[in-house]
Structure formats: structure tokens, C-alpha cells
Amino acid sequence: MWDRETVVTWVQSFRNEATHVLSFINLKGGVGKTTTAVAVAEILAQEDRKHVLLVDLDPQTNATVTLISEDKWSELDREGRTIAQLFSDRINFHEPPKFDIETAIVKRVSTINDGIARLDLLPSSIRLIDIQDRIPMIALSGNFTTNPLEILKNALQLVLDRYDYVIIDCPPSLGTVTKNGLRISTGYVIPTIPDIVSTWGIYQIVENVERFAKDIGRSIPPLGIVATKVQRNNLHSRVMDDLKARRLGRFGEEGALQQPPLFNSSIPQLVSVARGADVGEEIRTFKGKYGEAYYSSKKPNATPTSPTGWTPCSLLFKNRRRYRRSRSRSPPNSNSQISTVSSLRVANPSSACG
């Protein structure tokens, strides 16, 4: 018996109609996860003219306040137009629901050009911190009609086909909120600083997502690992070597899972990238927001370990022409040679990081 969701996904993929849904995950905070997710969303929408929805599932709301002002966020939060209200409605199912997906989505967000026409945002809220631990208990509270893992999926069903890409900024955990994002994902990306602490949980992420994918009966492939905040020091060089060889930590042990490949592109440690996350700076260009990290991607001989190495821009567009000729909506092939997020392909281990 064919699963209806599987058939629909296959047909949409065949017709080139399926929406790519990418989750950005790391169990450690401060690794550039949100900055990478936002940059990918902004550049897809602005430079590749794709319709993009960024879903902020992280209660820290960093992605949200990177794309809209805190005043605007406060207004949305008071009116129940955030992810927190969506989950709260399911927990308090005996009360009339307040969340409406149409009014919750904020159109034309970003500081770039005073807003990018094709970039929308489903904002988060710090109120999610107080309710996220109660979400798995929904059925025990008497709401037997709601699957806690499909709350986001059900909410987005009405709008998903409007977008070419949905970028999900997941919280630094593998709890129910993150699994809501993974439930609709066609793949996931792991941004990490190439050091010991930041990469420690990558094996756990891959192991848990693989188990979750089997439980729900669908594929959620790891598209790859993005090295962020890369510096020219011995520790970063050593960890980068391990990532390129796909032998990081437990991945190098006999009988272990296969490590996701490392993207050819990496993001250097730059003050300008951190400054660009501040909406108050009123930065209206990619150069202003990401500084040297943006324009260095245009240098053909830049290397991942150089101070001006590959950047969020090249994660998307290093192979733009080849991507446009061979674009496929089907799940990624782990042997692909194309190292772009937008084409949903990652580097072969023999060619990773140049």
C-alpha cells in the first residue's frame, strides 16, 4: 500500500513543483547556525529570485530579530502571530485558537533593500521557552486528535506550495519543536565551528535524525556540514581535515554511521558578519551586512582556510549556472559533485573543500 504523502511528494518532484524544506541544526549555540540560515534565505530570495519562507523555531528568536525590528516582533507577539501561539493553541485546545497562518507570516522581511520582496518570515517568540516542554504531553492532556510532531506541518499545509524554499532555523536541541521542523524537511544542514566542542554533537544529530526518519517512514538526508567562523589556527585546520576526510570523532570508528560531507564553502570569522545581525545598524546591502565575507565569494582562488574564504553567498551560487541547467526537486544524491545549498547537493568526499 502506497503512503499518500510519499506519492504526492514523488509526483510534485517529478513535475518540478515540490518545495525544498531545509532545516539548520546544531546542538550547540553560537556556531553561526542562525546567521547561515538567514544568509541562505536572503540570498536565495534576492539574488536567485526564489520565493522563500524562513521559519524561526528557535525560542531565542535571533532569526526573527535579524529580519525585523524588535518593536515589530513585540507587536506580533502581543497579537499571537508567532510560532509560540501555534503551539500554545494546541496545548490549550479547549480555548478558541488565536493563531492564523495567513496573518502570522510577515511579508518582505530583511534589512537588505528595506525588505526583500520574495522573503517571508514566520516569527518565533521567547514564550516558546515556557511551553516547549509541554508539547509532547498534548495527547495526555486530552487532545487526542493532535499529533505533537505534526503541528507545524498542519499549519503550513495551506501555504507551503507558494514557496520554492522553506528555511527552518531549529533550536539547539532534538526535542519536539525541532522534530516538527524535521517532519516536513527534505534535508538538513549542520553549521558548525571547526573545533572540538562545536562538533561534539554532530554524530548524535545524524543518529537521531536517521532514527526519526525511519519512525515516520520518510527520508531526511543530511545535505552536509558547513564550517563557520573559520580561523587560521592549528585546531581549526585539524578539525577541517577530519571533516574533509569524513572521519570526525565517532564517524571514524568501525561500523559507525557515515559522516555527512563537508561543503566546499566555509564562512570565515569576521566582525562584519556579526554586526550584520543587528537590525538597528540599518544595513541595506549584502556588502554592508556580510562585509568581506560576501564579496570574497567572487574570488575564484579563495580557499576555505583563508581569511577571505568561501562564504554564505558561495554556499548558494558557486555553481549557479550548472544548477539552473540540471535542477532537480528530488532528494539529494550523496555522490553529487555540486557544492551548493540551493541545488540541495553536497560535495563528494574526494572533492570536498577543494
pLDDT, tens digit (0-9, with 9 covering 90-100), for 324-333: 333 444 444 3
Tell me phi and psi for residue 351, to 5 degrees. -120, 5
24, β-bridge pairs: 169, 189
- CB-based contacts of 79, cutoff 8 Å, min separation 6: none
Residue 3 lies in a domain: no
Rounded to 5 degrees, what angle do the CA atoms 207, 208, 212 make?
120
Q: Per-residue pLDDT tens for 285-319? A: 777 777 665 554 444 333 333 223 333 444 443 43
DSSP for residue 106: B
Question: Is residue 171 in a domain?
Answer: yes
In a domain? residue 336: no
Domain assignment of residue 332, yes or no = no
Tens digit of pLDDT for each residue in 75-120? 999 999 999 999 999 999 889 999 999 999 999 999 888 899 999 9
Round to whole Å and give the CA distance between 116 and 112: 6
**Segments forming the whole domain that contains residue 243:** 16-326
User: 345 falls in which pLDDT band (50, 70, 90)?
Assistant: very low
Q: pLDDT tens digits for 148-206?
A: 999 999 999 999 999 999 999 999 999 999 999 999 999 999 999 999 999 999 999 99
Indicate which CATH number applies to the domain containing 87: 3.40.50.300
Average pLDDT, the chain: 80
- The pLDDT assigned to 34 comes to 94
Residue 340 in any domain: the answer is no
Residue 216 has pLDDT above 80, yes or no: yes
Tell me if 212 is assigned to some domain: yes
Overall number of domains in the chain:
1
Q: If DSSP states are collapsed to H, E and C, what string results for 125-170?
A: CCCHHHHHHHHHHCHHHCCCCCCHHHHHHHHHCCCHHHCCEEEEEC
| Model confidence at 322: pLDDT above 80 | no
What one-letter code names the amino acid at 352? A
Q: Give domain status of residue 349, yes or no.
A: no
For 227-246, letters b (16+ CB in 10 Å) and e give: bbbbeeeeebeebbebbbeb
Q: Is residue 6 part of a domain?
A: no
Return the biggest CA–CA distance within the chain.
60
pLDDT tens for 23-54 read 999 999 999 999 999 999 998 999 899 999 99
| Helix, coil or strand: residue 51 | coil
Identity of the residue numbered 228: T
226 pLDDT higher than 60: yes
Please report, as a single letter, which amino acid is at residue 316: L
Residue pLDDT, tens place only, 48-80: 999 999 999 999 999 999 999 999 999 999 999
